[in-house]
Amino acid sequence: RTYLDHAATTALSPVAEEAWLKAVRQLQSMPGNPSALHAGGRAASRMVEDAREEIADAIGAERAEVVFTSGATEANALGVIGAARHTGRPAVLISQVEHDSVAKLADAAPDLQWRHIPVDSEGVSIVPSSLGDDVALASMSLVCAETGVIQPVERLVAASGDTLVHTDAAQAIGHLPVSFSALGVDLLTLGGHKIGAPVGTGALIVRRGVEIDSDRPGGGQERKRRSGTVDAAGAVALAAALTATVRELDVVIERHQALKDRLVAGLPPEVHVTSQAPSSPGMVHLSLPTSSPEVLLMAFDQAGVMVSAGSACHAGVTRPSEILLNMGRDTAGALGVLRVSFGADTDASDIDAFLEALPGALAAAQRMDKHFKE
């Protein structure tokens, strides 16, 4: 089978698996809540703090700036709402290319005024020259989870004045160099299972001096920023995966770019790359002449090729992509899309399997389009 849906999730990487199992076994032989004062607690706490340091080094942050969470979704909610609320200002600005874990935050915080940063037809956010005195925080992904287009976060930082800036880097880490300090953002989200760490791991990086209101009552772990027992083994595995990702980055970028070029060169004339803007080397977003993405995906699946229509994070429901609609596509144009994404083990044979399955899958989807028209 050919797995080309790494932007949805990746397998556990060998280094993360090894680090995770070692930590789990250590916790089995001597259990301990990292907050406990006894020997078991101190050993677990050491694991968490070593992992925190490793993550800080890998992402260009300070140790105290790393807040462990259960993944990118939680980090986004905690970072955006928690930091915005603490400022006391009323408005939040979010880009129109956000993953639902940011795009839908308005439903969770109706006390804040939610405004949008628009996007152009190539999928690049259009940063306003100034953000407004009433804006607490602006949030923009580093790489759009659907199109793979790199977003102008540096420009947002330059325009931000004293507005806080948050970036969701879940789709950027492992595909582009990412440094928290060099970017100059105030908050950054990272997710574990996109880089070979276990599902349920992630972190929010919070710049020293930036306060966030915790979103839940509890034990006040993570310096009162995020209550809940820290997953010590998960933290260890996240650190191992992130370090490996950073170490291998140059090689991975070159390899993925070559795979991307191979894929694009092999496309039939009726299938287009959606955007010409600079994008993640690990992702190719395609536009196809069909309005039946489910049939397309099923036909690929039957041919042994796993890909995604837009973002796979929508609990299996295929609806016109909000992001593509925001880019000015009509409903049909926002339906006929495919996201192909690469991981550590992707090679040329995967690309060839995709290209081989493509004409048949598209024909099957178009038969369904015709059936609906009749």
The smaller minimum CB distance to ligand PLP, of residues 145 and 176, is found at: 145
Phi, psi of 346, deg, nearest 5 = -70, 135
| Distance (Å, whole) CA 278 – CA 79 | 27
Helix (H, G, I), strand (E, B) or coil at 260: helix
Q: Which range touches ligand PLP (CB under 6 A), out of 68-76, 209-217, 252-260, 361-369?
A: 68-76
Q: Which is nearer to ligand PLP, 54 or 146 (CB)?
A: 146
Binding of residue 5 to ligand PLP (CB under 6 A)? no
Among 32, 34, 71, 152, binds ligand PLP (CB under 6 A): 71
| 144 given a catalytic annotation | no
Q: Which residue lies nearer to ligand PLP by CB, 2 or 141?
A: 141
262: Cα separation from own chain's centroid:
25
Options 66-74, 149-157, 232-240, 246-254: segment touching ligand PLP (CB under 6 A)? 66-74
The torsion region of residue 304 among left (phi > 0), alpha (psi -120 to 50) and beta comes to: left
| Residue 302: other Cβ atoms inside 10 A | 12
**11 or 313: whose CB is closer to ligand PLP?**
313
Residue 371 contacts by C-beta under 8 Å, 6 or more apart in sequence? none
- The DSSP 8-state label assigned to residue 65 in this structure reads G
Residue nearest to ligand PLP (CB): 71
| Closest by Cα among 193, 374, 194, 372 to 293 | 372
What residues contact residue 133 under an 8 Å CB cut-off, 6+ apart?
none
**Alpha-carbon gap, residue 263 to 344, rounded angstroms:** 17
Question: Would you count residue 145 as binding ligand PLP (CB under 6 A)?
Answer: yes
Q: How far apart are CA 259 and CA 351, in angstroms?
A: 7
Q: How far apart are CA 231 and CA 362, in angstroms?
A: 44
Tell me how far CA of residue 294 lies from CA of 60, 120, 232, in angstroms. Answer: 41, 27, 39
* Contacts of ligand PLP in 328-357 (CB under 6 A): none
Q: Which of 13, 96, 101, 341 binds ligand PLP (CB under 6 A)?
A: 101
Rounded Cα distance, 289 and 271, in Å:
7
CB of 67 to ligand PLP, least distance (A): 14
Q: Is 167 in the site for ligand PLP (CB under 6 A)?
A: no
171 binds ligand PLP (CB under 6 A): yes
Amino acid letter, residue 146: E
Q: Alpha-carbon distance 147 to 305, whole Å?
A: 19
Q: Does 24 bind ligand PLP (CB under 6 A)?
A: no
Question: Could you say whether residue 190 binds ligand PLP (CB under 6 A)?
Answer: no
From the list 72, 105, 230, 305, which residue makes contact with ligand PLP (rule: CB under 6 A)? 72
Which of 199, 277, 313, 325 does the annotation list as catalytic? 313
Q: Which is nearer to ligand PLP, 168 or 350 (CB)?
A: 168
Task: Tell whether residue 280 is a contact of ligand PLP (CB under 6 A).
Answer: no
Count of residues that interact with ligand PLP, criterion CB under 6 A:
14
Which of 51, 55, 61, 170 is close enough to bind ligand PLP by CB under 6 A?
A: 170
- Work out whether 99 is an interface residue with ligand PLP (CB under 6 A): yes
The reply on whether position 313 binds ligand PLP by CB under 6 A is yes
Residues 281 and 125: their CA atoms lie apart, in Å, by 19
Supply the residues annotated as catalytic.
Answer: 313
Applying CB under 6 A, which residues contact ligand PLP? Answer: 71-73, 99, 101, 141, 145, 168, 170-171, 191, 193, 202, 313
